[in-house]
Structure 1
Amino acid sequence: MDRRTLLATGLALGVAGSARAAMAAGPERVTLWPGIPPGGEGLGIRDEIIQRSPPGGDPDDIAWTHIASPAMTVARAANPNGAAVLLIPGGGYTRVAVRRTPSNIAQMFAARGITAFELLYRLPHDGWRAGPAAPLQDAQRAMRLIRDGAAKWAIDPARVAAIGFSAGGHLVGQLSARAERETYAPLDAADRLPARPIATGMFFPVVSMLPPLAHEQSRRELLGADPSEALATEWSLERNVPATMPPTFVCHMADDKTVKAANSLAMFAALQAARISSELVIGEKGGHGVPLLGRDGKRHVWFDLFETFATRHGWLKA
């Protein structure tokens, strides 16, 4: 089962009844910024979406091609265990493939007691003055708002992990590597809180912005049609792993024809060189989009491996 088929499968993950009832009342959505996001004054950007499913398919199977109001959708855990996770979807920085309602991945975590937050982040092609840092601003702000609302969501602010998929893997890597870098002027008390995840998961990630590894669409959308080597190097994760990088789990499929698995190999090598606690999983088959459910309907081993890895570093209570 590929990722697109999985995301279109409504109840495949067997979410607890109480969690379904909560979602039926309407999704909980958290706007990231009070007013216009940083660097958006005078741009006149409007939210725009496209339908991904064919006519008659899932009406919430959408992607956002322009984002004026970045936000998080919350999947509350029915029986919270104190852990939380920020989920960052992909889309090649051309769009953000995230639903209005919690995805099956978010529901899966919520059913296991982990409150999940799915990020709708801004895209550089809309002209934000921060350029390639605009998505990173949103990711940093999201982590801080999660911690700021810890009491409301019954989570431990010290136990917030982050997982990214494809271009979202690049963004979660940037969030982790640049968690301490100021990318916007602080607005409120939330911005005094840390943005660093306790553990990071990078699934089939875009990593490098340098040929021959670079995913050309992501590179072009993030940095422009002909970025300088210096700019491409600055936004290549394998060239910029700091000593403060969180423990990082990297997962890819060897037959991925969209984003080369060599991205993950380069990332793992860089993590090891920087002596960051890290783990690498390369599967033989699965293409771009690690299978998330097995044929028996149970979640695949990749998430079990991430959970075990992150728990060693304090995410869940062992």
Structure 2
Amino acid sequence: MKRSLRQLVWFSLIGFLLVKLPGAEPLVLPVWPGVPPEETSDLGSEHDTTTESSEKVAGQRVIRLTDVHQPTLTVYSPEASVDTGASVLICPGGGHQILAMDLEGTEVAQWLNRIGVTGILLKYRVPARHKDPLWKSAVQDAQRSMRLVRAHAAQWRLDPDRMGILGFSAGGQTAVISALSHQKVAYEPLDAVDDLSARP
């Protein structure tokens, strides 16, 4: 099977399986159809570095995820009665070393849902793959994610003109750089998804 046909079949299957149901369990999909660009790290399994002695936030344990080599998007949909069609890509912080997945991720998505916005949590690659710049792989993941959300906008009942991006700390840096450089693709285009805009 030719590569372009394989990619078309892959995206068709993903699209069919991931039709957004308001208020349903979150959808999870890979950001890249295969190995992410310039990915050579052999990190082993991703894991939470939080221990019993780790600092808590407001008395709560915080997930600190690291060794992420397969980025994903998790789509949290609001109830149909409040759904505005708007969406926000969420980039957790963690100094490009870990991701604060709940404090700066799932909790933010839940808040967005309460105001009728679809929260889309990006689990981007950490620790940083590049020393200069640290944010390169994260921005690659964020740009691809914006395009991927736009590609699924009709299936997920999202307005492609009401897509935002936000982040915290290193995730904030990722969000800003991704937004400001949306016209400059941070990786070699792979498929039809990369023909779409990465502009928030």
Q: How would you bin the TM-score normalised by the shorter chain?
A: 0.7 to 0.9
Structure 1 position 54, deviation (Å): 3.4
Preserved CA contact (<8 Å) 2:37 2:187: yes
Within the candidate set 97, 117, 120, 1:117 is matched to 120
Q: Which secondary structure state, in structure 1, belongs to the residue aligned with residue 100 of structure 2? A: coil
Determine the C-alpha separation between the residues in 2 that align with 1:95 and 1:162.
19
Preserved CA contact (<8 Å) 1:86 1:118: yes
Matched with 1:54 is 52
Matched with 1:65 is 66
Matched with 1:44 is 42
Q: Which secondary structure state, in structure 1, belongs to the residue aligned with residue 75 of structure 2? A: strand
Normalising by the residue count of structure 1, what TM-score does the alignment of the two structures yield?
Answer: 0.49
Matched with 1:239 is none
Matched with 2:157 is 154
Give matches, 1:27-176, under 5 Å.
27-41=26-40, 43-52=41-50, 54=52, 61-79=62-80, 80-99=83-102, 103-123=106-126, 125-126=128-129, 132-176=135-179
Preserved CA contact (<8 Å) 1:53 1:62: no
Determine the C-alpha separation between the residues in 2 that align with 1:62 and 1:70.
16
Preserved CA contact (<8 Å) 2:98 2:127: no
Preserved CA contact (<8 Å) 2:96 2:126: yes
Preserved CA contact (<8 Å) 1:51 1:62: yes
Structure 1 position 185, deviation (Å): 1.2
* CA-based RMSD: 2.8
Preserved CA contact (<8 Å) 1:53 1:61: no
Preserved CA contact (<8 Å) 2:49 2:64: yes
Q: Which secondary structure state, in structure 2, belongs to the residue aligned with residue 196 of structure 1? A: coil
> Could you say if the C-alpha distance between residues 130 and 154 of structure 1 is closer, same or farther in structure 2, counting changes exceeding 3 Å?
same
Preserved CA contact (<8 Å) 1:72 1:118: yes
> Could you say if the C-alpha distance between residues 144 and 69 of structure 1 is closer, same or farther in structure 2, counting changes exceeding 3 Å?
same
Preserved CA contact (<8 Å) 1:180 1:195: yes
> How many residues are paired up?
171
Determine the C-alpha separation between the residues in 1 that align with 2:61 and 2:100.
11
> Could you say if the C-alpha distance between residues 157 and 78 of structure 1 is closer, same or farther in structure 2, counting changes exceeding 3 Å?
same
Preserved CA contact (<8 Å) 1:83 1:159: yes
> Could you say if the C-alpha distance between residues 89 and 131 of structure 1 is closer, same or farther in structure 2, counting changes exceeding 3 Å?
closer
Structure 1 position 38, deviation (Å): 0.5
Matched with 1:270 is none
Amino acid at match of 1:143: M
Preserved CA contact (<8 Å) 2:135 2:174: no
Deviations 1:138-170 (A, max 9, x none): 000010011000012110111101111111111
Point out which structure has higher relative CO (alpha carbons under 8 A, 6+ apart).
2
Normalising by the residue count of structure 2, what TM-score does the alignment of the two structures yield?
Answer: 0.75
Determine the C-alpha separation between the residues in 1 that align with 2:160 and 2:140.
19
Larger radius of gyration: 1
Within the candidate set 190, 193, 198, 1:190 is matched to 193
